[in-house]
Structure 1
Amino acid sequence: MTSSGTTVDRPARQLVAGAAGHFVEFFDFLIYSYLAIYFAGQFFPSSSGSQLVPLLSAFAVFAVGFLVRPVAGLVIGVFADRYGRRAAMSVSVWMMGTSSLLIAITPTYAHIGVGAPIVLVVARLLQGLSAGGEYTAAAAFLVESAPAHRRALFSSFMFVSSSVGKMVALGVVASLAGVLGDEAMRSYGWRIPFALGAVVAIVAWWIRHRSQETLASAPDGDSPAKPGLFEALRRHPVPSLQVVGLVAGIGGSVYLWTTYFPTYAALVTHLGASSSMIASLIGLACYTVAAPVVGVLADRVGTRPLLYAFAISTAVGTVPLLHLMSAGFAGALTAQIIGLVFTSFGTSIMAAVLVQLFPQRVRVAGTGFPYALSIAIFGGTVSTIGTALVNAGAESWFGWYIAGLSVITLISTISLRGRRRRETPGEQGASAQAEPAGSTRAGERA
């Protein structure tokens, strides 16, 4: 019996199905960030003589994709709570593939003028819609598929899959850059990874199509009304605020070390793009190994100690780590590995913590909207804020910004203490037995 009250026949298949979309999401999102340095000038030609101007424009479009995430988190979340997690995950992965294909075939500014950045924005909006509903639908699917004593472990595979997606994205981009060279990459090479992303999305959909639904059916003779669009926010305002706060620091840290790191390293150090990507690839490999280890540990000691470990280590360590990057390749690599280990304390268990703040009836919508809102505000703007600070000669403030976000997560973790989520009579039997918020392993050790 799983946490959703349903019986899952093949948990391993469920694990792959839930994680597959997160792989595609981060492959698609990350190749945009990694390739921005190559295609930015083709969509946003600079008239100022500064190479940072088109790059800033490209990252501004990157942030646009996050603006629609809260809407998608709410709408797709309600869809998942009404019609099932598997259906919602299928919709999100199709949107991912379509948006990636659209970017791959979009003409440049030289060919269609202002139409080029407009199409790019449309594609990013579509990516944002898909990603806005993907994480929480898949997170609920995984936690509901997991045995009660393995929820944090299953949760950790959300970011194992995203790390693998990032490593594959880095590997593809680095390999193409090495084979084709800088000129060819700026001309046409950057399109290849986006086309590959569309193909991978089809494979992920096929895997999910064969998975088992985890949304528990209502008892016989009982047909409760479908959850409303704002029901989760209206009935569970405190958990909604807690989600925003918990995700603030985790989102800022994960997008720094896994998304923006290669570009930031190239901007503030003398490392070339290739060297910074190699450092990022090694760091992500360490992060991928660390994630399930953290998940197993959380299933033994509870999730809250790991949240404290993330918040305190990131708040104290981010500024020194960013300074360490100035010590050449070895310094950048060391900073990347340590930063990602700190980040894994939060990301590995985040799904297990967040989805258990809400009853199953409104779980995906309740988590999806505040999660996507927080990611949009604090995660999606990391690249833009970091690049703008570098452009203004104030890059030293960037580390303090990330540290400040971690303090918000620390305060939110403290607010979880002693909180209990209890099912209403109508919800019992259609979802997990009531447990402490953010719990795993019977809840008492969270």
Structure 2
Amino acid sequence: MSTTISGEIQPEAGIGKRDPKKAAMSGWIGSALEYYDFALYSQAAALVFPAVFFPSGNPTVAIIASLATYAVGYVSRPIGAIVLGAWGDRHGRKNVLTFAMLLMGVATFAVGLLPTYGKVGILAPILLVTLRLVQGFAVAGELGGASAMIVEHSPDARRGFFASFSLQGTQFGSILAMGLMLPLAAVLDDNQFQTWGWRIPFLLSAFVILAGFVIRRRVEEPPVFLAQSDETKAKRQFPIVELVHTHLWVLVRCILMTLTNVIGMATLVFGVAYATQDGYGIGFTKSDFLWVTLVANVVAVVTIPMFGALSDRIGRRTLMLVGGIGGGLLAGGYLWAIDQGSLPLVFVCVVVIQGVFFQMWNATFATFYQEQFPMRIRVTGFAVSQNVGLMIAAFFPSIFTAIAPPGTTNVPLVIGSMTFGICLVAALATFLSAETKGTSLEDLETPSGAGQRSLKPSSV
């Protein structure tokens, strides 16, 4: 017989079994492929798109407009989070992951076929923005669905370790994207790279469509999800409605915590434009900063599972606080290293900030967010909080460029101070959240579970 805890049906003896290794591997592969697509765009928006899809008369306007199209992808993410989150909560994690992967692959392939501004004028950026909106919608369901599946398959004492593999997959996807962009940027001259070279990695997304379909079809739903009856699911409110009614303050805290992503926006998005665009006059090449981004992601692949496992021992909140505050404090130093024109110093800074401090936060947040919400709204709660926060954070590079355009003095101080201030806000939201390390999934379903426990923070 199945048992019921706070309205949730617990698995019967015959309804599957937890398989954390298989769930973690499927999450890793799927996240790698989907974030390969997403990472391509972020690099192209800083390196190529200002000259390809926008008029060349004013370099500052072109940089701001290109980075804004990068941010536009995050505007559609909350919509995708609501729609795909509800799908994942009601019809299964597996179904939503398959659809999200296929949609992302098609959109990214289409970017590689777009005409330039010189050929079709204003239609070029319009088409670019449209496809970026589709990308944002698709990716909104990926990490929420994948990490929910892993958390629900994993033993309580090792959720942080297993769930970290979906985050490691996102970093590997970025490495794969850079591994294709880097040789193209190094071998081709600027004209060849901007004319056709950048398109090759986008067109290779055709393989993502096929791989995504095969991989996601083989993923098994967590037993705890399969154990629910159709009658139980039918009686529930629409997930976003229940989320707002029952976990609003938890949602707000998770959104604020997500603003920690300003570290990456300041370093690997704005920082790339600051270092390579002619308007700023720093003089680094596109190839230089493809290497910088590649090294940051390689280090992250190593550190993420380490910090995921550490979160199972010392807690999620401690790592998120140290990582967010430390990375925010040092972001200005990274921009200062760029300002000095020292590539070795840039590499040291990016390893410390992105590879170590930010990954303390990044390796841990997915597990922490999933543990804040009960199963019936888990994908929606994670997806909405993460993607609303990312939508806000994604506009920071354009805001940074507007506040510190080419010709501004003390860019590292101005942008570094803003980055640190935003990280402090995120850290306060983390401090006000209850620790969830070691809490059983059954306890997370009760009214006194993580999301609805006392707001008094536990000791760090």
TM over 0.5: yes
| 1:121 counterpart (122, 129, 132) | 129
The separation in 1 between residues aligned to 2:325 and 2:313, in whole angstroms, is 21
| 8 Å contact kept, 1:100–1:123 | yes
Structure 1: how far apart are the matches of 2:443 and 2:16?
Answer: 13
Q: Name the structure 2 match of 1:202.
A: 210
Count of residues paired in the alignment: 432
Structure 2 unaligned segments of length 5 or more: list them: 1-9
**Which residue, out of 62, 68, 71, partners 2:76?**
68
Q: CA deviation at 1:265?
A: 2.9
Aligned to 2:93: 85
Summarize deviations over 1:20-69 as a string: whole Å, max 9, x none.
3322332222212222332432321223xx33332322211111111111
Query: Is the alpha carbon distance of 1:349 and 1:117 closer, same or farther for their aligned partners in structure 2, counting shifts above 3 Å?
Result: same
Contact 1:265–1:332 (CA under 8 A) maintained in structure 2: no
Deviations 1:330-355 (A, max 9, x none): 11101101111110110001111001
Q: Which residue of 2 aligns with 1:406?
A: 423
Shift of 1:430: 11
- Unaligned runs of 5+ residues in structure 1 are none
Contact 2:156 2:438 in 1 (8 A): no
Counterpart in 2 of 1:350? 365
TM-score by length of 2: 0.86
User: Does 2:293 correspond to 1:280?
Assistant: yes
SS in 1 for 2:141: helix
C-alpha displacement of 1:127: 0.4
- 1:385 maps to what in 2? 399
Mapped partners of 1:277, 1:386: distance in 2: 21
1:169 equivalent to 2:182? Answer no
Are 2:156 and 2:439, in contact at CA under 8 Å, matched by a contact in 1? no
Tell me, yes or no, if structure 1 residue 28 matches structure 2 residue 37: yes
CA distance in 2 between partners of 1:39 and 1:284 (Å): 22
Q: What is the letter of the counterpart of residue 344 of structure 2?
A: A
**Which residue does 2:256 correspond to in 1?**
245
Gap change, CA 1:86 and 1:412, over 3 Å in 2: same
Kindly provide the amino acid, as one letter, of the partner of residue 345 in structure 2. Answer: G
Distance 1:273 1:210, change over 3 A: same
**Normalising to structure 1: TM-score of the pair?**
0.88
Go from structure 1 to structure 2 and tell me whether the alpha carbon gap of 1:332 and 1:307 turns closer, same or farther (over 3 Å shift): same
For 1:390 and 1:259, locate their aligned partners in 2 and report how far apart those are by CA, in whole Å: 15
Report how far residue 109 of structure 1 moved.
2.4
Match of residue 144 from structure 1: 152
- Are the counterparts in 1 of residues 312 and 437 from structure 2 also a CA contact under 8 Å? no
How far apart are residue 159 of structure 1 and its match?
A: 2.1
Q: Distance in 2 between matches of 1:185 and 1:213?
A: 43
Report 1:31-430 matches (<5 A): 31-36=40-45, 37-47=47-57, 50-214=58-222, 216-218=225-227, 223-224=232-233, 225-228=235-238, 229-249=240-260, 251-267=261-277, 269-327=282-340, 328-340=342-354, 341-378=356-393, 380-388=394-402, 389-391=404-406, 393=408, 395-396=411-412, 397-417=414-434
- 1:218 deviation in Å? 4.5
Partner-residue secondary structure (3-state), 2:339 = coil
- Could you tell me how far 1:13 is from its partner in structure 2? 2.4
Structure 2 distance, partners of 1:318, 1:210, is 41
Looking at structure 1, the residues matched to 228 and 295 of structure 2 have their Cα atoms a distance apart, in angstroms, of: 50
Instruction: Write out per-residue CA displacement over residues 372-429 of structure 1, whole angstroms, 9 at most, x where no aligned residue.
Output: 1111001x11332233323361623111121112101211111114799999xxx969
In structure 1, how many angstroms separate the alpha carbons of the residues matched to 2:452 and 2:179? 35
The answer to whether the 8 Å contact 2:368/2:436 transfers is no
Q: Which amino acid aligns with 2:242?
A: E
- Deviation of 1:176 (Å): 0.9
What amino acid is the match of 2:160?
A
SS in 2 for 1:390: coil
Question: Match of 2:364, SS?
Answer: helix
Partner SS for 2:204? helix
In the other structure, the counterpart of 1:15 is 24
Give me the whole-angstrom Cα distance separating, in 1, the residues matched to 2:72 and 2:181: 23
- 1:218 and 1:226, CA in 2 relative to 1: closer, same or farther beyond 3 A? farther
